[in-house]
Structures are given as C-alpha cells and as structure tokens.
Structure 1
Amino acid sequence: MTAPEQPTDRAAPPTAGAGALDSLEEHLLGERPTLTQAEVADQAGISLDAARELWHLLGFAHAEPEERAFTQGDVRALKLTQDLTDLGLLTEDRQDGMVRTLGRSFARLAEWQVGLLAETALDTGIDPTDGILELADEVTPRVEELQTFVWRRHVLNAASRMLAVADAGDRTSDRAVCFVDIVGYTSRSRTLTDRELVTWLEAFETAALDTVIEHNGRIIKNIGDELLIVADTAEDAAAIAMELTRRGSDEDDDFPDVRAGVAYGEVVTRLGDVFGPVVNIAARLTSVARPGTVLIDKGMYAALTGAAGDDADTSDTEGPERDESPYRFRRVRRVSVKGYSRLHPWALQPRD
C-alpha cells in the first residue's frame, strides 16, 4: 500500500493553542496523524466496521471518513487486538467487555492526570500551554512506566488469588462483599466547591484504602460517595467494615460518618468487577443501615459464627458468641428492599 498523501493546506494559520496541540499530539502519539480510519483498518487487516466498533468501545470521538486522525500506533493496536483474538483470549463476547473496560479506565486516569497538572499550573502560575508540553516531555514517560509496573503487580496479585481457589477454572468463588456509604453526602456536597468536594472524596478514599489493605481487602470501585470492597474471608471484611464505621463515629477523626452492608457467598468475577446476588444483597443492606452501623447477611453470620443454615435462620434476637470472636450479633427486623422482600439481617457490633 502506498504512503498516504500528507495534507497540504489548512483553512487558517495555526494559533498558539493549535501549535501546542500539534506538538502535544506528536509527543504522545509518537508521530503526526496521517491515516484515515479506512487506511488504518486496511493496514491492520480487519474490516472498517470492526475498526469503528473498537474505536467506539474505547470511548474515542467519532472520526469523519476523510479525517487523518490516526497513526501507525492505531494500526499496531488493532493488530494486537487481532493477535489476542487469534490466541483465543478474546472471544466476541469478551472483546467488547475488555476493550470497553480499558477505554473507561484509562479515560478516567487521563482526566485525573491532566486535571492534576492543570491544578498545579494554576497554583504555581505556570502557563497551561507550557504545563501541557511539560507533561509530554517529562511526566508522561515516567507515568507510563509506573502504570505498566503497577498493572503487572496487580496482574500478579489477581493471578495469585485465582490460583489459590481450588477450582481455578471457574470465575465464581466464595467471597465477602462490602459496601461503605458516606452518611449525609448530599447535604455536605452542597456546601463545597467542586474542588473541595473532590479533595474531600479523595481523602475519604485514601483513608479507606489504608484500612482495606491492612485487612487484606480490595477496593473494586467507587460509586460516587460509596465504595465497593471485596475480601477473601468474612473475618477480613468484618474487620474492614467495623474499623471504617468506628472511625466515622469518632468525633475527633476527620473520617466521614459511614454505614456499611456486608454479604458473603458465591461471587462472579469478571474484568476486575464482581457480580451476583451477594453483591446485590450487600448493596441493599447498606441502603437500610443506620449511620455508624454494619449490617450483615445470613452468609456472613454463618461464616463468622460457624452456624449452619438452619441455625442462621433462627429467630433469636441474639446470636451465639464464641469466646474468641470480637463481635456480637443482634438480629434486626426483616426489611423489604428492591429484589428482596424478606431480607433478615444481623447487626454486627464489637463485643466490648
């Protein structure tokens, strides 16, 4: 295939901003865009429709048919995707999920990184154009190397957890799922500027992450003012939920008041996320928990006490307390929530 013609004219002379954008584009993409989407698809050996679908799934803007917005890096990306398909890693069903997840994750990461740079430029009085170019020249290679290392570490951790499961070929396993929700978030957010709100939420997530890691858990994602946390054992999830609610109830601690819901049982994992009834129950318990409290389902109760299924369904107001257990269990009245008309939780409380 012959090399595409280079554009020879422009509608107007480039402005300073356009010049900075051109420079940034070349720094980040490694070369000036010279290919149309059809040319990229042709060189990658896939159909134009498939290329457009992948572009859409990655979250990128629509490109006009004659727009030269692509580089050899785009060709390489499509070839890599095809290689993964040929290796059997990406089936038609998996491809959409994986590509969409990559697009969303890196879009959020890029927005945060550029926003952080913009804030730094404002605080120090640096011209935004110079700051963006500095990102390309100095910051981007270091961040890229760090991202790759962090990703490899997380792959190792995820693989280790998977191999520890007896049925490693199955994507389901018993885990504890915990939702932690900030109490009074709506009213508090109305009193803060956008920047103050972001700072407040980031401080909350950072503090929560320390506790989660200390007790061998993982934050799957944050959903506004809510965190979705997963732990491999009921004991770790209980420790996380109890510590976060304790901190929130401490008037001398800046950590916000929170409530939590925890469920334990079979969970489906896919692309780093978790699914299934256990996840839904944990979310529903959080929605009805009172500030500073932790509600748990029958699966968590059984895992923490060793109670059998029938024992976990008992109507006793107090649960059995083992001498070595740091918790007390108080039966809570049945609640009706979306999808579960007769959910009967327990309140998890410290023994002392």
Structure 2
Amino acid sequence: MSVDDPGGPPVPDEPSDAEPGTDPGGRPRDAAFDGGSGADTGNDTGSGPDTDPDGDPDADGVTETGEHPLALRLEQLILGAPRRYTPFQAARTAGVSMDLASRFWRAMGFADIGQAKALTEADVLALRRLAGLVEAGLLSESMAIQVARSTGQTTARLADWQTDSFLEGLTEPPEPGMTRAEVAYPLVELLLPELEEFLIYVWRRQVAAATSRVVQSDDEEAVDRRLAVGFADLVGFTRLTRRLEEEELGELVEAFETTAADQVAAYGGRLIKTLGDEVLFVADDPGTASEIGIRLIETMTGDETMPALRVGMAFGTVTTRMGDVFGTTVNLASRLTSIAPRDAVLVDGDFAEALGEAGDAPLSEADVDAGDSEKYRFALQPMWRRPVRGLGVVEPWLLTRRP
C-alpha cells in the first residue's frame, strides 16, 4: 500500500514546508508531481489563505506569475476554494505518499506544477478519498489509478467541448467595449451549479443503466461479452476537408455526430466514441444493431447536406475497458465499413447467422414462403468472399430492410 503510516506524527492543520527532496516518510519525492525542486520555494502561482491569491497585475493586466487575474478569479470560482497547498503539502495533509499522489495527478490528466502553491482543499480531499478506497480494500491501487484516468479523460473532453462550443457562443459581449472575459465570470457563476447538478444526474443515470446490463449478464460475460459492433463512416470526408471552410466542416461533423448519437440512443444502442467522420457504437444483439445501422442510412440519405454513409457491423466476443471496446470483432466491423458500398450496410457471417436464429431475417430468400415474408424485419444477401487485411477471407452480407 502506498498510504503513509497512520501511526506517525499528526499532520498540522496548516501544512509546513518539509525537508527538500523527501516525502512525509523520508523517501525521495516523485519529480513529476512536484518538479523535484524541494519544498515550497516561494515561487508560487498562488499564495496562502491570508494573502491575495491573484497577486498584483502589471500594466498588461498579468500577475507576477504570468497569469491573468480574471483567469485566477474564474479558477477560484469554479474550484470553490483558494490555492493553498504545494503538491508536497497536499499529499502530506491527505496522508498519501508523494509517489501515489503524483500517479493520481497524472492519471487525472493534469500537467506537472512543480512546487507551486496551486492546490486546494478539494485536491486534498480527492487524494484522501482515492487512497481511502485502496486502504479499505474496496479498490486495488491499480484500479484506483484506472478510476482516476477514466474520469479524467472523460471529463476533460466534456470540459473542452463546453468551454469551446457552449461558453464561447454565450460570451459574446452584449455591449460595445465589453470583453468576452468580462462576460465570462458572471455567466460561469450562474451556469456552474446548474451544469454540475445536471452532470451528476446524467452520470447516475448512466451508472444505473450500466449496472443493470452487468447484473443481467452471465459472470463469464462481465469483461468479454458478445456484442454487435458497428461503424458508420462518411464517404469522401477527406475531399470535403479540402473543399469546405473550417466553420462549414465543423457544422457538418457536429450534425453527423448529433444525428448518429440520437439514432443510436433511440433504438437501444450505446455510442462508444466519435472520430469526426466516423462513429463507433455497440448493441446487445444484432437485431438492435441492424435497426440502428439501417436507420442511420435512411436518415442521412434524406439529408441533402450530408455526404453518403457506409456502415459495417460484426457480432462476436468483445473486450470492454474504460468505456471502449477492443478485439477481433471490432476490427472486423471496421474492415467491413471500409469495403461497404455507398449508403449500404455490410455485416459478417456470425452477425447474419444470429439474425437468422433470432427470426429477424432469413439466411436464404429461397426458404421464405410467400405467406411468411412479413414476419421478417430484414433481408440478407451474400456478397463475394474476399480477403480482408489482417483477418483472412470473410464473406460479407448486405443487410437491408424488407419492403
């Protein structure tokens, strides 16, 4: 365990500087978290609780530490507390070794900050909570690192999107002479608590849905599960990037991602990630995935502003990790997408067979009686067998909706 011995000397309420080069246990400190520069050197980007955290701005409106005063005010508003601790002081106050604290900090996606006094009570509490989960045996140390990393990566993307797209559009100065920075502070002050509550609500909903899927599956499928995996890819996107203006291209990508996300969610799938001109989604069964794939084609075809779309799907064992999916099934779905005709859906043999077993589509139209045609939702047409890079020879099937 990397948590300091609780039987040692008590940690003071106001952390003091420590012997340079060591953590609270006398061990060398990790340089990534604290810069390896000894204890608090006085070159803080902030200051203690008894001094002005912003510093004095110079003629250019920048503090002695090179930071904009408004940026520091916004940080304190968002974090809810002033800067108080160096990394060493935060780790000591949390009762966590510098080694573990630095690994948590990196895993959450934060840059090295040297020995700046830039951390708050919330940082101390976060370290204490993660270390407490390890100490209580609820999480292994490696799992706690994964929790920090997955949370950091997910929220970093959300924060970037909200700042770049959402806040940027709302902070246009309402009056001549006002700067965007002057509008940002009161706007963040109003939006922050509402967005925080909404984030927690959505997260709880997602955890409830994910937990339900896990408890309803077999124990053997908890990590390696059989899922239908699909890719949807815009045709000719590279040519579009050369022809469209940046703003037009951004609007196209946003419209595609929004439409794809809505269709995937509406019909019971889960959007794994978006890659600009491509989306990756999964579904628990091929019937659900088929509806999503065909709906995507139908929706995009009806939009004259959208380029053609192609979809590839495969069914099989998938490894899930940190919200992503891996394995041969995922690779096969990607390869099928690359060879799919425009505005068409290709699936692999296992996918087609599973549709047939579920009664969603016949494997051979010759076996369909005239009176039984309406009981099938989809039609399957075998295509030419062909070699697929890295996966050998496969027989794709063209999936369509029955008229």
Evaluate the alpha carbon distance shift between residue 319 and residue 293 of structure 1 in structure 2; reply closer, same or farther with a 3 A threshold.
Answer: farther
Structure 1 unaligned regions, length at least 5: none
Cα deviation, residue 202, structure 1: 1.7
Evaluate the alpha carbon distance shift between residue 26 and residue 320 of structure 1 in structure 2; reply closer, same or farther with a 3 A threshold.
Answer: farther
Structure-1 residue corresponding to 2:28: none
1:237-316 map, 5 Å: 237-250=289-302, 253-306=304-357
Task: Find the aligned partners of 1:106 and 1:95 in 2 and give their Cα distance.
Answer: 17
Structure-2 residue corresponding to 1:22: 72
2:378 pairs with 1:327: yes
Structure-1 residue corresponding to 2:153: 104
Evaluate the alpha carbon distance shift between residue 37 and residue 319 of structure 1 in structure 2; reply closer, same or farther with a 3 A threshold.
Answer: farther
TM-score by length of 1: 0.88
Cα deviation, residue 90, structure 1: 3.0
Equivalent residue for 2:272, pick from 211, 220, 231: 220
Equivalent residue for 1:86, pick from 132, 135, 153: 135
Evaluate the alpha carbon distance shift between residue 236 and residue 87 of structure 1 in structure 2; reply closer, same or farther with a 3 A threshold.
Answer: farther
Structure 2 unaligned regions, length at least 5: 1-11, 17-46, 63-67
Cα deviation, residue 255, structure 1: 4.3
Cα deviation, residue 15, structure 1: 5.1
Task: Find the aligned partners of 1:123 and 1:193 in 2 and give their Cα distance.
Answer: 25
Cα deviation, residue 169, structure 1: 7.2
Equivalent residue for 1:162, pick from 214, 218, 227: 214
Q: Report % sequence identity.
A: 35
Structure-2 residue corresponding to 1:53: 103
**Residue type of the partner of 1:26?**
Q
* Alignment length (residue pairs): 344
**Residue type of the partner of 2:70?**
A
8 Å CA contact 1:319–1:329 kept in 2: the answer is no
Q: Secondary structure at the match of 1:122?
A: coil
8 Å CA contact 1:320–1:329 kept in 2: the answer is no
Task: Find the aligned partners of 1:49 and 1:131 in 2 and give their Cα distance.
Answer: 41
Bigger Rg over Cα: 2
**1:90-132 Cα shifts (integer Å, max 9, x gaps):** 3243333322221111111111111121233238566211232
Evaluate the alpha carbon distance shift between residue 93 and residue 342 of structure 1 in structure 2; reply closer, same or farther with a 3 A threshold.
Answer: farther
Equivalent residue for 2:283, pick from 209, 228, 231: 231
Greater shift in the superposed pair: 81-90 or 274-283: 81-90
Task: Find the aligned partners of 2:138 and 2:248 in 1 and give their Cα distance.
Answer: 43
TM-score by length of 2: 0.78
Evaluate the alpha carbon distance shift between residue 320 and residue 88 of structure 1 in structure 2; reply closer, same or farther with a 3 A threshold.
Answer: farther
Evaluate the alpha carbon distance shift between residue 320 and residue 150 of structure 1 in structure 2; reply closer, same or farther with a 3 A threshold.
Answer: farther
**Residue type of the partner of 2:122?**
G
Q: Secondary structure at the match of 1:306?
A: helix
Q: Which runs of 4+ in 1 moved over 6 A?
A: none
Looking at secondary structure, tell me which structure has more helix per residue: 1
Cα deviation, residue 285, structure 1: 0.9
Structure-1 residue corresponding to 2:29: none
8 Å CA contact 1:117–1:131 kept in 2: the answer is no
Structure-1 residue corresponding to 2:169: 119
Cα deviation, residue 184, structure 1: 1.3
2:119 pairs with 1:73: no
Structure-1 residue corresponding to 2:396: 345
| Aligned-pair Cα RMSD in Å | 2.7
